[in-house]
Structure 1
Amino acid sequence: MYKVVVITDPESATGFRLAGSDVLEVEDSFEASRVLSSLLHEEETGIIAIREDYLANLDKSLYEQVERCYHPVIIPIPAPRKGDEVSGYVERLLRRAIGYNVVMRS
C-alpha cells in the first residue's frame, strides 16, 4: 500500500499527523527541496503533499522533474497566510479535506 507524505513547517505538522499522514517537518524551501528530491525515488510513497510556497521555490531542474513524474503524485497545499493562527490554518485544511469543521482546542 502506498503512503501519503506531507512536507510542511513544524507549526503545521501536528494537524497533518492528526489527519493520519506521515509528516516531514522542514524549516525552509531549501530543506524541502532536499527532502522532496529523496522522496521522488521511494517506491512506497504514493502521494506527496507539499506547501505551495516550497514547491514554487524549487530549483529549475527539480521542478521539471516534479512536472514530468507521474509517481508519486505531487499535491501543493496552501501555505499559512500572514496573521493566520496555526490552529485556524489546520482547521481550514481539514475542513477542505474531509468536509467537516474540526475545532482544535489547546
Structure 2
Amino acid sequence: MFKVVVITDPESATGFRLAGSDVLEAEDSYEASQVLSSLLHEEETGIIAIREDFLANLDKSLYEQVERCYHPVIIPIPAPRKGDEVSGYVERLLRRAIGYNVVMRS
C-alpha cells in the first residue's frame, strides 16, 4: 500500500499529523526541495502533498522532473498567506479539497 507524505512548514505539520499523514517539515523552499528530491525515488510513496509556495520555488531541473513524473503523484496544498486568518486558510483548504466554500464561524 502506498503512503501519503506531506511536506510543510513546522507550524502546519501538527494538523497534518493529526489527520494521519506522514509529515516532513521544511523551514524554506530549499529544505523542501531536498526532501522532495529524496522522496521522488521511494517506491512506497504514492502521494506527496507539498505547500504550493515550496513547489513554486523549486529549481528548474527539479521542477521539470516533478512535471514528468507520474509516480508519486505531487499535489500542491495552499500555504498560509501573510495577514491570512486561520479560518480563512482552513476555508481555502476545504474549498480546494471538496469543491465547496465552507464558512467557519466562531
Q: TM-score range by the shorter chain?
A: 0.7 to 0.9
- The list of structure 1 runs, each at least 4 consecutive aligned residues, that deviate by more than 4 angstroms after superposition, is 85-88, 98-106
**Residue in structure 1 matched with residue 74 of structure 2 by the alignment:** 74
**Distance (whole Å) between structure 1 residues aligned to residue 76 and residue 50 of structure 2:** 5
TM-score by length of 2: 0.84
The one-character-per-residue Cα deviations of 1:5-32 (angstroms, maximum 9, x if unpaired) are: 0000000001111111000010000000
Partner of 1:102: 102
Secondary structure, aligned partner of 1:71:
coil
Deviates more, 1:93-102 or 1:38-47: 93-102
Identity of aligned residues (%): 95
Is contact 1:15–1:90 with CA below 8 Å preserved after alignment?
A: no
User: Structure 1 unaligned runs (5+)?
Assistant: none
Contact 2:9–2:27 (Cα < 8 Å) also in 1 = yes
Q: Any unmatched runs of 5+ in structure 2?
A: none
Normalised by the length of structure 1, the TM-score is 0.84
Residue by residue over 1:29-87, the C-alpha shift from the partner in whole angstroms, topping out at 9 and shown as x without a partner, is 00000000000000000000000000000000000000000000000000101123457
Task: Report the aligned-residue RMSD.
Answer: 2.7
